[in-house]
Amino acid sequence: MQDTGSGEGARASTATFDSPQLAPPAGHYSHIATHGGLAYISGQLPLAPDGTQLADEPFEVQAEQVLANLDACLIAAGTSRERLISVTVYVTDIANWPAFDQLYRTWLGPVRPARAVAGVKELHYGSAVEVHSVAALD
């Protein structure tokens, strides 16, 4: 975990770290940043824990992996899906939205965080779905 607070007298520090259950980020970012009682989870793509890209898999397989990756980040941050505050979902084909919504509904159960859905032209590695979230820390 890296503390990026501004030293003595800082109002609150920010910590950045990665989930040990996932492959390290491929770019200059962290899986998770925490600050002020919140965990900010970077966009999760359909990448297997070993880093294998799943963009050629069916949409449902990609979506399930994205949600599993989100779980791994929430656990690493010391929180859980029940503490999600906001979720942003990016899909490259809005026709896949009903399938995602059903998987998401099953994954979350009665929890209903704020949510936005954006149809986008493309995602990294040719992925069909990406999810970014914010959760309260326990």
pLDDT given at position 11: 64
pLDDT given at position 64: 98
Amino acid at 129: V
pLDDT, tens digit only, all 138 positions of the chain: 555 554 444 567 999 999 999 999 999 999 999 999 999 999 999 999 999 999 999 999 999 999 999 999 999 999 999 999 999 999 999 999 999 999 999 999 999 999 999 999 999 999 999 999 999 997
pLDDT given at position 1: 57
pTM: 0.90
Between CA 79 and CA 72 the distance in angstroms is 10
Between CA 30 and CA 137 the distance in angstroms is 17
Between CA 69 and CA 67 the distance in angstroms is 5
Between CA 44 and CA 131 the distance in angstroms is 5
